[in-house]
């Protein structure tokens, strides 16, 4: 399982990488759970990341398929394609399966037609009712149908309740296994603390994403190298994590 750390500026990249992040994720937390950074900030984040570091980019929650072209246009300023490049597409506010499928299909088509050809990751929300979105199982099925690369289970609300307060751990495990059977890359996020990361570390997810838990001052604060290192250790085993957090 790789640790994904969300950064809102190029200045946070060094701390994320030095602390042990396996993926750098460009996201503006002040704009919501999947807030997109602006194009100049994205270019600076991509330039600050090491050449071999995978890059993930939040595009926000998309209701209109025609908006995908403009959202992906921000990637055109990236000078070099990272070894792995992902774009995350949320579906808050989209309750009809046909409409959600249209958005995801448009994202896959637009990504395939772009110069950098990023892989699309569909975002399902554990608190889907609050997000006015479809349930997680439906998002996974639609993602597989349209040829998305992966699926992320996150929380839309960032008010202190983590992923496991919304979904029991055995249900998360079932969802991950189902997504894997569909051939999807799997990721988990959702206001996870160190304890939450420890719980998630035993699950069959490919990627675990964090923001607030690695920031001094909460998710709107600044990424701290020591906090990243603590969570990276938590993914490697309870003994190592306890030593790091102490």
So which residues are the catalytic ones? 27, 88
The token pair that represents 27 in the structure block: 């996201």
Rounded CA gap, 103 and 69, in Å? 11
Q: Which of 79, 112, 107, 109 is nearest to 94 (CA)?
A: 107
Going by C-beta distance under 8 Å and a sequence separation of 6 or more, which residues neighbour residue 165? Answer: none
Confirm if 126 and 154 have CB atoms less than 8 A apart.
yes
Rounded CA gap, 207 and 46, in Å? 20
* β-pairing verdict for 150-154 and 185-188: parallel
């Amino acid at each position: 399982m790789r640790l994904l750390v969300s950064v809102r500026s190029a200045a946070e990249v060094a701390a994320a990488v030095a602390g042990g992040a396996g993926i750098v994720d460009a996201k503006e937390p002040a704009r919501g759970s999947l807030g997109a950074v602006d194009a100049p900030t994205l270019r600076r984040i991509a330039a600050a990341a090491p050449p071999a570091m995978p890059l993930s980019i939040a595009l926000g929650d998309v209701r209109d398929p025609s908006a995908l072209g403009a959202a992906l246009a921000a990637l055109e300023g990236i000078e070099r394609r990272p070894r792995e490049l992902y774009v995350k597409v949320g579906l808050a506010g989209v309750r009809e399966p046909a409409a959600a499928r249209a958005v995801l299909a448009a994202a896959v088509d637009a990504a395939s037609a772009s110069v950098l050809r990023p892989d699309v990751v569909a975002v399902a929300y554990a608190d889907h009712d609050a997000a006015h979105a479809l349930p997680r199982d439906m998002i996974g099925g639609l993602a597989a149908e349209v040829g998305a690369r992966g699926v992320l289970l996150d929380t839309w609300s960032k008010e202190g309740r983590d992923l496991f307060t919304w979904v029991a751990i055995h249900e998360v495990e079932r969802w991950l296994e189902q997504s894997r059977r569909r051939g999807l890359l799997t990721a988990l996020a959702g206001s996870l603390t160190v304890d939450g990361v420890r719980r998630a570390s035993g699950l069959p997810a490919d990627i675990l994403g964090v923001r607030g838990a690695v920031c001094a001052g909460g998710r709107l604060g600044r990424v701290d190298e020591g906090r990243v290192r603590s969570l990276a250790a938590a993914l490697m085993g309870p003994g190592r994590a306890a030593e790091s957090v102490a």
